[in-house]
Structure 1
């Protein structure tokens, strides 16, 4: 209201326009100016003068291409920017620009088309920001990250790789390939539980480790892991949760070291500490059969004509000799293994031959106790590469142990099953069981269930240790389980099976003889970066762009064999980008693939009509991607 009480009249539009123009002209952090429809400069603010070095009187009336380097002018990039802005309403770009004094700066540029009320283009607004410092900082960061990435990729003593939040492998270094046996193209995208024993997976161990790492930040673990070829190694693992600056979980860093040799050394040291106990047991076990043998021979000497008495005592001598022979054989085998001289006569063996030989050898002891063996084969008929005699020796030992520690007239169950590339033999009894605190010790050398010298049936404590050593020489594993004292025991043998003819392993991380030039365009930076890294690790040269304009600029000096293009991108979507790229004459051999989360038939028809050679649905199957790239390498598509 005015002082007279009458309503104030609205401020004239011309005055508001003057205020806005004054505001724009006084801004010094941004170069803001207008172009006519041909790109001629028609206005100039204080920020443009500060950033570019020209007074308004020096530059108004000049073409805006004056700010571009010679190479950009020679390829017509300034005019291309105007065409893109005219077609799409706006265009955003980054690149080198030239000041009045000839120095260069890195600019972020936005050009917006201006329309009149009739919808006709009357010119362009251009906003330029000098981001040289940010660009240089980002370049240094990228260089540092690239140096670190190359360092990690080439480390061979440690398996270092990343998991996504769900536990799927997203990166793979040389150490991981060497230790675990997988090439990156074979394992990226698969869940890390692939490396765990079937019983660990069934018990949910991988998921528990991820949960603990998420809750505690980092978790360490040791245990048996499986290589690609089915062999086992003892792994020391650190799993660390990775968060971004907003405390959002990005995934997990996993570092694994093969500690098999250290594990074996620790077990040897533990065995040495038990040597005194073993020597006491050895003396007892050797005297046990000698005493009845001495008594029996004395009786036969005193009554050589009593045939029934001689026959009974000859039986005693025979049984004790067999027991003594077994003790000596076990000792000799342990000595050979310790010296690395136990030879395996390997061949391809059907697992049923191992089972048949073990049952034949153990049946006299089992039948003597009125026990029976129930065999469950589950239609498993796999083959292993190993020594039939030694594998049968292990299984026979386990069956005789099950009989020895079980009541008479009970049943011993022998089950054979197959889990992926691992064959498993399980022996379960109804016997005395194993205390929980002893489960981890039963396979150690010279360990027995009772005290030293407790009974003659306790043995030397080397049978199970010998079994484990033989199985590990076959690149397998053996474990024991029990619900507790009096509740029986279960022993499980796991062996890698033969799925194809055995040949020498190919060099790890073998790269294609000729990689492809690949342009990868995706506004999801994480998806683009991880896919780009995977393609680089498989031997290809990759340029990554996060928007359509950057993709167009990148092909000025880069000719891709394959372009992988996301469809849903801001400003310029994948359909528009592929049409723009097809205008470049030097890209007539390039094959284009839509890379999108949309997979319905209608979208696939749209991409085909737009000129894409194929349609890949996220998440991309790595094997399918490899086949497509191989096809492209051998049969490029001429245009």
Structure 2
């Protein structure tokens, strides 16, 4: 029979004792036997009062249920736990009314099992008070049985365990929260005991090491097979925290299961036991790989900037040296022209000026080429060309220097024709730079060789010398911009340190590569260029300029705010048989173009009042100026400058200084069209 269906309880034992205590009075004339019994009753009552005080103080509520008489008695604290007025008579219904509905079946099952098995019962359940508050209770009891074997009484106790239960729940929730945080944080959280054994590690460790968290438990870093140096660092930090009870921080690097090196900052925090000693050590390892990589990159960038700044200073000093070099003989030649009337002397001075101006123009041209390539604005014009023609042109360009230094040049080319899909002019520039470099850094009389061999779909061209050679460090940097070998030493050969950088970039624009090898200082050097071969095609010789007689009789407008430049060009035009008119600002140029008929005009772009672009647009807006050939002659040679002159309908864009070949070409073409009755568009 279920206990919930039995009769209501009664405190038969305690009630009987209480009745006995209140039944008789002990008088003076009582017989000795009765007096002893009364003393025992008083002693028992005193003991029961003490027992009830102890149970109430301990938070224990007592109940006594006589199943036969269906009477129930609760102690004072029992009423308090269940939230009832002690004046109310206790009943089984009152007890069940306070049990949380979800716990009724649990309580019934525990008591029924105890009755059927004649054992004690112990059950935890919740008490729900009228105001909605919950109390956690632990109930226990034992049944007594009658002669017929049926339960006669059920006596027991209830204890309010709310505070303890809530503390346990709070602790468990904190543990769950910590576990959730540890599982989702990128940090690795560990706890170690005083023997430095791992007590806990967050699941994040598996993603980094490939081992589950359980694999680490109970092991020291040495037992985990960690790198001995790193394991010793961990041990030292943990020992220090355990010994001194203070937080420690350290950083370390570790290669994970994915083979990637990561960097961590670890904080080790002491946890103290009741005795004040460090009981465990909690460590939090934060991955700061990205920050470390950024810091390393910043250090690397700083070193590179410092190196670049050093190179810049060296370059500026070299540039000043290279510019002063041509300027000195030009200045001397100018003075010589003013002091001597002898034709031979004047011709020699003219030759000096011409050569040095060409050198200056070459320096500026190289700088412009580097700028175009570095900004990705240099376009190469590919065509089918023979390697033999490219090498021949490069040798021809380098021959004067080789002859001047009495250096024999050996050329070895493939027997069969090797064709390239390339810009012949740019490759000639690259190979002539390599040959010139080989000559400059070789002693006088030392041979230079160029050798080409086809290899499958590529051709390899080697330029070798027996010169000063290169160190390992020099070979690493030799193709960088503004890098020179022995820029200021006894073997310095001048230049801006851009020739080999140009070679590399021009070769790479053709889909090729260039490398250098040297056995060391004094052992010479060999530069190897590797280029893709193109399909064979009929032999097409490289175009070259054909000397033509200068044009005659043109009327030319020369506009430049540099009076020396304008007047010198005008004098040169006059010497060639033309009539030159000069203007030193834009407004005068516009006025002269409107007043006079010109066959050709050279315009500087950087004028003091209005720009050369505005001058051109104004001239083009007049009837007379629509067909006038306009040549931009300027120090501005960037792509954006050329776009502007093209938009302003300039016929041609030339960069100062003006080469004689260009002057002859332009004046001849203008004269030819004029004589044919047409003008250059």
TM exceeding 0.5: no
Q: TM-score, normalised by structure 1?
A: 0.37
Q: Taking structure 2 as the reference length, what is the TM-score of the superposition?
A: 0.35
Larger radius of gyration: 2
